[in-house]
Amino acid sequence: MTFRYYTLHRRAESGFTLIELLVVIAIIGLLSSIVLASINVARDKARVSKAKAELNQLRISIENLLLDTNLHPEHTTLSPCRQDVEVYLNLCSAGVQCTDGGYSGWSGPYMSVVPRDPWGTYYYFDPDYQCTDQVGCEGVVSGTWTRAILSYGPNKTENYGPGSDDIVLILCRE
């Protein structure tokens, strides 16, 4: 009888208590949430970097369009800098990947396919974009009117003003 008591008592001492298991599970959950949060931050930064790189490729394509036709997208002349003819860069009227026939001297396509930004929206040409604190407007006085190509950013809408998440590449400014 004594032997049996010792065996049962010994088995109870060698396992983990429910509280110990719950503490370990809570610690693992906390660590995994910290890792996931840092992964999301890194993913957001990577998307912004990708958008900047694609905007730079689009700028080069627009410069080539300009060299051949003396026009910016949507048949926009260089002067004045601020005009009100906006266009998505994937459209033929933009002249980047195809033409609508209105570009004398067009020898494109200047980009085989205009990509969508990392959030799924087409890049946009806006010759009357007002810079505030957007990515790409660094060093520009807030409220300055510019000609820009842009990504609408994570919220997928064009925003002026503080807190805008647009990602901008300026072509000229007033």
Domains within the chain, CATH numbers bracketed? 2-173 (3.30.700.10)
Q: How far is CA 162 from CA 48, 58, 99, 126, in A?
A: 18, 26, 36, 18
pTM of the entire structure? 0.76
First to last CA, the chain: 97
Query: Which tokens sit at 38?
Result: 């840092």
**pLDDT tens, the chain, 174 aa long:** 555 555 555 555 678 888 988 999 999 999 988 888 888 888 889 999 999 999 999 999 999 999 999 999 999 888 888 887 889 999 999 999 999 998 999 998 999 999 999 999 999 999 988 888 778 888 888 888 889 999 999 988 887 767 788 898 998 887
Distance CA 93, CA 124 (A): 12
Q: What phi-psi label fits residue 14: left (phi over 0), alpha (psi between -120 and 50 degrees) or beta?
A: alpha
Q: What is the maximum alpha-carbon separation in the chain?
A: 104
Counting every residue written for the chain, the total comes to: 174
